[in-house]
Structure 1
Amino acid sequence: MLPWIQLATAKVPGGGELRLMRRGEEFSIRLDANELMNSRLGGSEEALATLACQKLAGRPRPRVLVGGLGMGFTLRAALKVFGTDATIEVAELVPEVIDWGRGEMAGLYGDSLTDPRVSILQRDVGELIRAGAGRYDAILLDVDNGPEGLSRPANDQLYDSRGLSDARAALRGGGVLAVWSSGPDDSFTKRLRRSDFVVNEVPVRAVGKRTGSRHWIWLAVKT
């Protein structure tokens, strides 16, 4: 078996160190010893965009905010499902992750980073949410490991009661907050409902519909 080769590293503000690894055609992004994502295992991140789009029921000219670029799975799925009239903003806090998408992993991203519908913003997604009252039809959060943060303690603020109130204010009527997680979290589900969202919880697989680890997506609609 081919060995893993470290291609690059990046510091997470207020957190640890990201490592970009490659083995043949397979990529991995790791936080210290923990694998955050793998280029072979993007099914659940793709489902984040697909399921959110279904909740919007063909709404014209949707404006979508994606929190976390990662390996671009959610972005590429959003480009497929939201249509040619969509506007998609991607917030990525770590500038090196954006550079990796344009450099070492350019083949994985294809032309998604240069699509005219897309704006890549080197920003904290929380700042965009707090400044975006009534701006978005969908907010897709694939930040950290889900509501239980792993890479950066400040990410927890996205998922507490204040953060959910900010997200609700940033959504237009009928808009959807979609959240990816490595697993279920009953307390987060309760916070969503206390924040006046109508909530569905959807278990999804990391690879296709039937294989890979089981991850979790919350679909929270602003009524």
Structure 2
Amino acid sequence: MKPRLKIAETRAPDGSEMVLYQHDRDFFMMLNGQDLMDSRQKESELALARLGCRHLSAFKAPKVLIGGLGMGYTLRQTLDMLGPDGRVVVGELVDAVVEWNRAHLGVLNDHPLEDPRVDLERGDIVDIITRCSARFDAILIDIDNGPDAMTTADNHRLYGSAGIQACRRALVKNGCLAVWSADPSKKYEQLLVQGGFHVRRYRVPANRGSSSSRFVWVASEDKTRLPPGGGEPRRSEKKKVSIKRRRWPRKNRSGR
């Protein structure tokens, strides 16, 4: 049995240790000894692109922003869905992740960074989004662990109200925002709704045939642009209850 080999390491922006391992044909990224990415669990990264770019099938020259390169699965799936005139901007904060994709991980996805339709921007994805206005037909976000950030606290900026509004401004009218997460988050769903989006939540497998799930939200100002299926979050409403009704509750018609 082949051992797991450490082939590269670096430091995340907050000083955490990131290590790339290889075992046979599989690759693993670990953060401070915890699993961060696994090339065997790729289905949810592919689903992020499929769901977020589904509305682009009739577009001649769509423009897509991907926040977070990872192991390149979302980028490859996006490129496969676009025509020859499509463009993809990839924002990646950690320089080593880019170099690992070029030196080691490109074999997983037919070297997507070498595709002429790809523009790579190194830096904070929040800064990249904030600089843009009505530029992208779709924005796909796979940063850290989702709304519950694992790598750097700065990533929380992206998942708050200000980050959501920045994404909305960076989208063309009726464009789609798609966001990957390891876990569900009703709080984030409500922030998307409060930010003026129609939203659907999709539970997707971590890998084909796996019982482990991940989550993708797709949001748009135009509800017809959302993929079919999924679940719609309920709008939160504050219930106003008078003092009199709290003291003297009235039975409802079912007698409950």
* TM-score between both structures, scaled by the size of structure 2: 0.84
Instruction: Report the 3-state secondary structure (helix = DSSP H, G, I; strand = E; otherwise coil) of the residue aligned with 1:59.
Output: coil
Which residues in structure 2 correspond to 1:25-174 (within 5 Å)? Answer: 25-174=25-174
**CA-CA distance at 1:29 after TM superposition:** 0.6
Q: How far apart are 1:168 and its partner, in Å?
A: 0.4
Mark the runs of 5 or more structure 2 residues left unpaired by the alignment: 223-256
- Give the deviation of 1:181 after TM superposition: 0.3
Divergent runs of 4+, >6 A: none
In structure 2, how many angstroms separate the alpha carbons of the residues matched to 1:97 and 1:196? Answer: 34
Return the letter of the residue paired with 2:112: S
- The AA in structure 1 aligned to 2:66 is V
Larger Rg: 2
Deviation at 1:83, TM superposition (A): 2.2
The answer to whether the 8 A contact 2:63-2:87 is kept is: yes
Counterpart of 1:213?
A: 212
Contact 1:18–1:30, Cα closer than 8 Å, also in 2: yes
The code of the aligned residue for 1:214 comes to: S
Instruction: Using the aligned pairs only, state the percent identity.
Output: 38
What does residue 186 of structure 2 align with?
Answer: 186
Amino acid at match of 2:88: I
C-alpha distance in structure 2 between counterparts of 1:139 and 1:27, whole Å: 26
TM-score (norm 1): 0.96
Across the aligned residues of Structure 1 and Structure 2, the Cα RMSD in angstroms comes to 1.2
Deviation digits for residues 70-103 of structure 1 (CA, Å, limit 9, x no counterpart): 1001000001112222100001111111111111
8 Å contact 2:52–2:178 — kept in the other structure?
A: yes
- 3-state DSSP of counterpart to 2:101: helix
Equivalent residue for 2:235?
none
Structure 2 counterpart of 1:61, one-letter code: A
CA distance in 2, matches of 1:197, 1:10: 37
Partner of 1:211: helix, strand, or coil?
coil
What is the letter of the counterpart of residue 48 of structure 2? L
Secondary structure of the 2:206 match is strand
* Pairwise CA distance, 1:14: 2.1
Cα distance in structure 2, aligned partners of 1:56 and 1:115: 19
| Higher mean C-alpha displacement, 50-59 vs 131-140 | 50-59
